[in-house]
Amino acid sequence: MCCGSVLAGNRIGGVGADDPSVHLDLDPTPAAARQARGFFAENVADLDAETAQTAALCVSELVTNGVLHARTPLVFGVTLGDDHVLVTVADRAPGDPESPPPDDSRPSGRGLVLVNALVDQWGVHHGEDGKTVWFTVPRRRA
């Protein structure tokens, strides 16, 4: 479950089921976010700097959420559409990702708020074996 299942189950602007996708299996360890960012950078090298930085931050947030909360192996995916890039993080845990209530004294818990503010679209796709959290950014070329 990853890019293909998200595209089959959702209408996502700027990305289609036939667009090229790449995937990376990740263990739920602290190194996973760094590995995902590197994989993203290797596979979407033509993005302008601002879009690439935004996407890298959101990649870190979603992969870190998977590591901390799902605690299952992850599948990280990137699909290159004509107009947008789709990024997916699949885990095997049930349920939806949750944002805790706002609390300025807490050092964490703002990841999904950041993702919501920075990307064009995002959502959660549920499958038989877990969920996939996804987002898109425009494919602005450098």
Q: How far apart are CA 137 and CA 49, in angstroms?
A: 12
Residue 102 included in any domain: no
Q: How far apart are CA 111 and CA 129, in angstroms?
A: 24
What's the domain count of the chain? Answer: 1
Its domain, for residue 115, covers 3-11+21-96+109-138
Residue that is written with structure tokens 């299952």 in the block: 72
Residues 6+ apart with CB under 8 A from 31: none
Please write the tens of the pLDDT for every residue from 62-101: 999 999 888 899 999 999 998 999 999 999 987 766 555 5
Predicted TM-score of the model (pTM): 0.87
Picking from 50, 29, 25, 58, the residue whose alpha carbon sits closest to that of residue 39 is 25
Residue 101 included in any domain: no
Residue 33 included in any domain: yes
Task: Give the CATH number for residue 77.
Answer: 3.30.565.10
Q: How confident is the model at residue 141, as a pLDDT?
A: 66
Q: Decide if 135 contacts 119 (C-beta within 8 A).
A: yes
Please write the tens of the pLDDT for every residue from 49-73: 999 999 999 999 999 999 988 889 9
